[in-house]
Structure 1
Amino acid sequence: MADGTDVNFDAETVTHRGGLAKLRSLTKVNPRLATTLAKTMLGGQRDHAVVDAFNAHAEQAGFEFTSTWASNNIPFVAPLLRDFAAKRPAGETIRYMEIGAYEGRNLAFMDWLLPERLAVTVIDPWFDEALNPEEKYHAVEPRFRRNMAKCGFRSLDTHKGFSTYVLPQMLERGEQFDLIYVDGSHTALAVLIDLCFCASLLSVGGMMVLDDYWHDISEIGGPGVKQAVDQFHAAFGRYFEIAAVYRQVALVKTAEIPR
């Protein structure tokens, strides 16, 4: 299709994305995002030293992390976040929402990078009998809460549940955010719902960071994150400026979306 999506995706179940899977995703680059992808990868700002600095901080603070997923994006997203914060009035609270927090590693990084600036809202179901029935998930939420106790957010509001249900309630209450990080479900349907609601919850001038863009097949089969992001941008791209494209897509809202 012209927007870079493929309706004839491989409906397979993916448990590990190897080199061939990533290469397949790369061959389906959305033309609307291709220029920014090239700029980001070839000439964009990146800070590799920040990964080691944060890891040292995490070890010293005694955080309990069992994965390093967030570290892959830090060199790219750190300069973006610094620039974003620098453009806001000094000391102003940044209303930040994160969908899919897991153990809180990305939240700890955000707190370290933007200390005492964030009023945080988190949405995550953590353990769920139907979707996350594995024994290991029992320990994730308690570990998340212990990790968050070591952070210095201005506030922390936690919603235990699925974003598909929580986000509409936030919109009904008229909540607004300056910065949103979307890393929830990897199914295209759930991601597209997240993006549509987050687009309305995001203030003009705010930034939305969409994780796992190259996941074109979800872990349970069917279309994945990439299809949702591409379709969302095809419909609403005129209301956003593309800030960066790499493993993530960063969009800055330039105008309200009629609804």
Structure 2
Amino acid sequence: MKHINDYGQEFWYARELSKALEYKDFRNFELSIFKAMDTCKNSGYEISDHFGEVTEMVKIGSGAQRGFPSYQLSRYACYLIVMNGDSSKEIIALGQTYFAVKTRQQELIENYDQLNEDQKRLAIRKEMAEHNKLLVAAAKDAGVESNLDYAIFQNYGYMGLYGGLKAQDIKARKGLSKSQQILDHMGYEELAANLFRATQTEAKLKRERITGKENANKTHLDVGRKVRETIADLGGTMPEDLPTPSKSIKQIQKEQRNLEKK
């Protein structure tokens, strides 16, 4: 249901959300919106930044559409609406549980220094997976369209960060097979360097509105080099020289699942 506006910002339509949350009457759902607005205001945020009044086009039968008063909602607004919704509804209860779990995950990131090495790897790897999706979207907007184009684009990022090494070179250095994911065999320090590379490349592609595959590739290469230079300036170890952990991310995840079953 997520939409993206002309400025690259995500938003959700209230009437679409009401259907997903199984409200039959939008007026009842609007009560949750009003409660969410109050919570937003009491938390010190501007209501207009998260709840924008709009006309939403809704199908009314036979493929026809009609405009109805509605709201454009931020992610934060959606969160507040669910948390202020009717918890007797199963879907609302599930939503509230979902946000509670997400809050716990965020707490783990905030308490990063208290995590052991495996937990740090899992936390950063998860962030890396999310930011890679954003990087894919930003690269696509810049003109990196096919899977081959994106593989080449990714290689430029690796070459910048790893002193000229491509993905296949890094795999060979780590003793990995073609099917194994490089990111699943990195320690938390190496993962963090790659996360910084990904986030800064995505931001630069968007900020400078870079277009064309060649320009996108050069951007990824330049950002990777900058991250490498920063590591050198700080006296850190180059990523290709960092040790490869004995366990992969998938092995750690499997071990955690087995512990949860006990």
For the superposition of Structure 1 and Structure 2, which TM-score range results when normalised by the shorter chain? Answer: under 0.3
Structure 1 or 2: more strand by fraction: 1
Q: TM-score, normalised by structure 1?
A: 0.20
- Larger relative contact order (CA 8 Å, sep ≥ 6): 1
Larger Rg: 2
